[in-house]
Amino acid sequence: MLLSLIYQKENIYDVHKLAVIILQTKYVLSIQVKSMKNIIIVVVVAVIGLSGGYFFNQYLGKIDTDLSESSSQSTHRPDFALKDINGKLRHAKEWDGKVLLINFWASWCPPCVREIPDFVRLHESYKDKGFDIIGIALDEEQSVIDFIDPIGVDYPILIATDSGIALSQAYGNRLGVLPFSVIVDRKGNIVSSHRSELSYEGVEQLIKPLL
């Protein structure tokens, strides 16, 4: 009887140890499965991110290619009639025979704001050599006036508000970005377009051969 109890006790102890081992094993396996799931999720996210980045870069590359191709083609400047900050209606034909920088901008656009002081200097340097700048603001009139008055912009600023989007697209700004600028030769042909911030030196190199 005593031996039987001892045997049973040992069996119960063995069963208890076995249960503990099973529970520990299950816990370890559970952690490994969770870790494996986390690894799989990380790998999947990484693959999606890389593939997404690749296709996005491919898309941007296509856009850049398309833009560079379009900017290399000479097209005639579209006509327009817009009011300046004094309320006077100005027609594109007023600038016939001049080399032009036509700049689409807005006072809320940081790169637009940064490039304007260079344009002021550029206009001062070349306005007597057949060069002019036309700023077309896609903005509210009062916001434009509040911005340009303190810095002394001396070239024409025209107010286009929302209609300026369609006009900029007619000039080649298919993406609708700001700033967007075009260089126009004396015959009225658009010889280059730029969808980024410009500098004094950069524009100078573009206009000198045209003057």
pLDDT of residue 30: 44
Q: Residue 179 pLDDT more than 80?
A: yes
pLDDT of residue 54: 34
pLDDT of residue 89: 97
Output the six-digit token pair for 149.
């008055």
Domain parsing of the chain, residue ranges: 1-72, 75-210
Angle at 115 between CA 113 and CA 118, to 5 degrees: 130
* C-alpha span between 134 and 181 (Å, rounded): 10
User: What is the reported pTM?
Assistant: 0.67
**What are the tens digits of pLDDT across the range 44-77?**
333 333 333 333 333 333 333 334 333 444 599 9
pLDDT of residue 118: 98
Q: Residue 1 pLDDT more than 60?
A: no
The region of weakest confidence among 2-11, 111-120, 127-136 is 2-11
pLDDT of residue 74: 57
Q: Residue 157 pLDDT more than 60?
A: yes
- 163: pLDDT confidence band, cut at 50, 70 and 90? confident
User: What's the topology of domain 75-210?
Assistant: Glutaredoxin (3.40.30)
* C-alpha span between 56 and 61 (Å, rounded): 8
Strand order in the sheet with 180-184: 75-76, 189-194, 180-184, 99-105, 131-137, 157-159, 81-84, 89-91
114 half-sphere exposure, CB direction, 13 A CA radius: 9
Q: What is the DSSP string of 66-100?
A: HHHHHHTS-EEPPP-EEEETTS-EEEGGGGTTSEE
Q: Residue 40 pLDDT more than 80?
A: no
Q: Residue 43 pLDDT more than 70?
A: no
Average pLDDT taken over every residue of the chain: 76
pLDDT of residue 37: 47
**What are the tens digits of pLDDT across the range 7-18?**
343 443 343 443
Output the six-digit token pair for 67.
């833009």
pLDDT of residue 193: 96
**Per-residue pLDDT averaged across 147-167, rounded?**
93
